[in-house]
Every structure is written in C-alpha cells, then in structure tokens.
C-alpha cells in the first residue's frame, strides 16, 4: 500500500513541477508581450502626433497657396 501512495505522490509531484515550469514560461511570455505592446503604443502615439502635425502643415500650405486648390491646370 505504501508503494501505491509513494507512486501517487511522485506522479503528483511531477505534475506540480510541470505546472510550475509552464507557469514560469507563461509569466516570462506575458512580460515580454507587455513590454512589446507598451513600446508599440508609444510608437503609435508618436506617429499619431506626427500625422496630426503634418495634416496641420498641409492645411496651412494649401490655404497659403495661390489660386484655388481644385482649379484645373491652365492647359485645360
């Protein structure tokens, strides 16, 4: 009977070890993903600001350009 308890204890111990190993791997993966996503959001934020600035510059350039912007070229 003690052999059965011992083998059951070993089996459970092995399962616990495997679960702990997987948990450690998952924790590392989550941390890596979190770092990556944080960096991507910073980059997206910077690019969004750049697009807004460029849009403002384009509007200013269009409003300061001589003649209407929808006017066809003179050769038409």
Inform me whether the pLDDT recorded for 75 exceeds 90. no
Higher pLDDT, 13 or 1: 13
pLDDT at 65: 86
Contacts of 69 (CB under 8 A, 6+ apart): 62
Mean pLDDT of all residues in the chain?
91
Report CA torsion sign: 14, 18, 23, 28.
Answer: positive
Confidence of residue 5 (pLDDT cuts 50, 70, 90): confident
* pLDDT band at residue 76 under the 50/70/90 scheme: low
**Tens digits of residue pLDDT in 39-68:** 999 999 999 999 999 999 999 999 998 865
CA nearest 56: which of 48, 67, 45? 48
- Distance separating alpha carbons of residues 17 and 19, to the nearest angstrom: 5
């Amino acid at each position: 009977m003690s052999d059965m308890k011992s083998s059951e204890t070993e089996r459970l111990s092995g399962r616990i070890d495997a679960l702990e190993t997987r948990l450690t791997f998952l924790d590392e993966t989550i941390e890596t993903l979190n770092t990556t996503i944080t960096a991507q959001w910073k980059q997206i934020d910077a690019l969004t600001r750049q697009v807004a600035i460029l849009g403002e510059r384009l509007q200013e350039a269009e409003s300061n350009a001589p003649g209407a912007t929808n006017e066809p070229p003179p050769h038409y």
